[in-house]
Chain A
Amino acid sequence: MTGLVISGITKKFGNFTAVNNIDLHFNKGEMICFLGPSGCGKTTLLRMIAGLEEPTNGSISFDDSDLTRVPVHERSIGMVFQSFALFPHLSVGENISYALKIRGYSRSDCEDRARVLLDKVHLPGIEDRRISQLSGGQRQRVAIARALALDPKIFLLDEPMSALDANLREAMQIELRQLQQELGITTVVVTHDQTEAMTMADQIVVMGNARVLQTGAPTDIYKNPANKEVASFLGTSNLLPAKVTSDTTVETAGHSFGVASIGGFSKGDEVLLMSRPEDVTVSVDEQETADNWVSGTVTFIRDIGAIIEILVDCGGHEVISVITPKDCPDVSVGKTVSVQIPKSACHVLAN
């Protein structure tokens, strides 16, 4: 199989299992994000692809060649670390051409390559600066340039945006994605920021507790989360405890809801009714005759400028609705409202 193949990978540190029997396959040239909370095993998995950790079990291969026992310095990888790990005793240019220098490339080759790479990361002309003179954003770009110096086959990034300011992060996410697409390099990014994953990735691997919870394209996972962990981690989700009443309906807060798909559940099962805030409509009119509605009391209104979040208490459970200012109904805290969730937006998840 071409591409990156991870097969039965397990990593144990003594009694603690950091990565538990993971199988993944990615095509060449894809950008993959390992997404999950701290401690879910995503960084350990990345480090095993890099060769910085040896798997307890399983194998990793790229383009049909087995990488599992190959030492780090013999793999064709480029890695950007969370702290960037730029060499303080070398200049920017020397940092970038380090990989070439230790392989015996000539000085002029090293300088040329550093120049080309600095242009690629939009930082021309700073070859002679010291690392201590660079800002966080500049350091990240230099770290990226350094990792790509020898055109590696796999590009790995460990929480690359965490050391940057919030406003810089979003710009860099787009830039990194554009660079990756331009170079067509197989890239794996580890992050705990779901916006980052959704902005950049072709495929997201949601991880939790040393396992893979779900793999797929960002919008697929967002629209069809496999379970409540994925639903909560990727975007905001409304989770209402419900009971399955038929092949197409569940009951919650005293009302019946038609659902998109009942999945593998049967009548009487205790489940969660999941919906996304942008699909939830809040209105002041009584909706006695409409389907898929429940009444509640507004507990909080969050006006963040571009969008307005309305938090409604429906029978003891919180439902969040997100709406643009121009479509916002006339609601205030304490008002009784009707909350409608269309059938297509209702998903059934295990409790």
Chain B
Amino acid sequence: MSEKGIANKLLLLPSSLVIGAFVIVPCALVLLASLASISDSEGWVFALDLSNFARFFSWFYIERALFSIGLCMMVVVISLLLAYPFAYFLSGFSAKVKNIWLIYILAQLTLSEVLIAFSWQILLSRKSGLSNILVSLGLFDKPFAMTPSATGVLLGLVYLVIPFMILLLYPAFSRMDKSLVEAARTLGASPLRSFFTVVVPTTKSAIISSSVTVFVLTLGAVIVPQVLGAPKHWTLSVLIMDQAVFNSNVPFASALAVVLLLLSGGVIGTIFFLGKGKTA
């Protein structure tokens, strides 16, 4: 190997060590823990014990898993439908206006999930929430609580991820040749037509990677589902936390985490596989 080759390989060392130490090792530990079981006398007992996984295969947990994935996919679709047109128009603004918007959206990211969860709890409450506005508009007779509910969780999660979705989609629009749309117009496409036949296909890979990123982000949210939803609306991540922290059953929590990892890996893999094809 040439000198330069060795130097290049050495440069990979720091990041490899970090990824190794802080990603691979914890994952391996979780996997190990999932194979353990809890005994009353000795605490953890390490063995190749698949009883934790067997426990997963009860309808309760399977239903939670399906609910989590379904909910997160809905969050992805809704935030995509809202963020995509917005990012498109944003890329067309003048530099000054664009920067103001980008700073505003970036500022949203400073809001912690806890803050968002509790703010929405107030917004959706009976006494001081949105329903009071609806009553004053004459649409309802009495104010009502919109939380805890699946809708509440959905709203909270969408609100949480929209800034991410916008910022993930934005570079693709920014990079896109603006004259592509003009070319489509000169060829006879109406503004709407040129949007769907040119803009959307050109940004296809960005749509896919942004959706996957947001999906993973949403799946890992623990505060919003717990605060805005009743236990039946809790996602798998909440259950993992619940098991690990409140039930002190780390092995079972680890098993649930492994299942979650496999499921999300499956979903991501499927999305990428389906999205493959003639991309730009």
Interface residues of A (CB under 8 A from B): 50-52, 72-75, 77-79, 81-83, 85-91, 98-99, 102-103, 130, 146-147, 149-150, 156
Contact = CB atoms under 8 A, between A and B. Distances in A.
B279 A89 contact: yes
B193 A102 contact: yes
Nearest to A91: B278
B182 A81 contact: yes
B198 A87 contact: yes
B187 interface: yes
Contacts of B202: 87-89
A134 B201 CA distance: 20
A238 B25 CA distance: 78
B180 interface: yes
Interface residues of B, number: 23
A78 B184 CA distance: 10
Given A99-B187, A99-B188, A103-B188, A87 B180 contact: yes
A102 B193 CA distance: 8
A74 B188 CA distance: 6
A102 B185 contact: no
Given A52-B185, A79-B183, A85 B190 contact: no
Nearest to A47: B182
Contacts of A149: 187
B177 A83 contact: yes
Contact of B280 (A78, A85, A88): A88
Q: What's the dominant secondary structure at chain B's contact region?
A: helix
B64 interface: no
B204 interface: yes
Given A83-B177, A87-B198, A150 B188 contact: yes
A90 B201 CA distance: 9
Given A83-B177, A85-B177, A89-B280, A72 B198 contact: no
Contacts of B204: 89
Interface of B: 177, 179-180, 182-191, 193-194, 197-198, 201-202, 204, 278-280
Given A51-B185, A87-B183, A87-B201, 15 more contacts: A52-B186, A73-B185, A73-B186, A73-B187, A73-B189, A73-B190, A85-B179, A85-B182, A86-B183, A89-B201, A99-B187, A99-B188, A102-B188, A146-B187, A147-B187
14 contacts: A52-B182, A52-B185, A52-B186, A73-B185, A75-B186, A83-B177, A87-B180, A89-B202, A89-B204, A89-B279, A98-B189, A99-B187, A149-B187, A156-B186
B279 A98 contact: no
A103 B194 CA distance: 13
B179 A83 contact: yes
B188 A79 contact: no
A103 B187 CA distance: 10
Nearest to B278: A89
A130 B280 CA distance: 9
A211 B118 CA distance: 62
Contacts of A79: 182-183, 186
Contacts of B194: 73
Contacts of A98: 184, 187, 189, 197
Q: Top 10 nearest A-B pairs by Cβ distance?
A: A85-B183, A88-B280, A99-B187, A85-B179, A89-B201, A79-B186, A72-B185, A81-B179, A73-B188, A85-B180
Contacts of A85: 177, 179-180, 182-183
Given A87-B198, A87-B202, A89-B204, A77 B186 contact: yes
A147 B280 contact: no
A103 B198 CA distance: 15
A83 B183 CA distance: 10
Contacts of B190: 73
A299 to B, nearest CB: 45
Contacts of B201: 87, 89-90
Contacts of A52: 182, 185-186
A259 B159 CA distance: 79
A81 B178 CA distance: 11
A130 B279 CA distance: 10
A51, A89, A99 — most chain B CB neighbours (10 Å): A89
A38 B189 CA distance: 30
Given A89-B278, A89-B279, A89-B280, A147 B186 contact: yes
A72, A78, A86 — most chain B CB neighbours (10 Å): A72
Contacts of A146: 183, 187
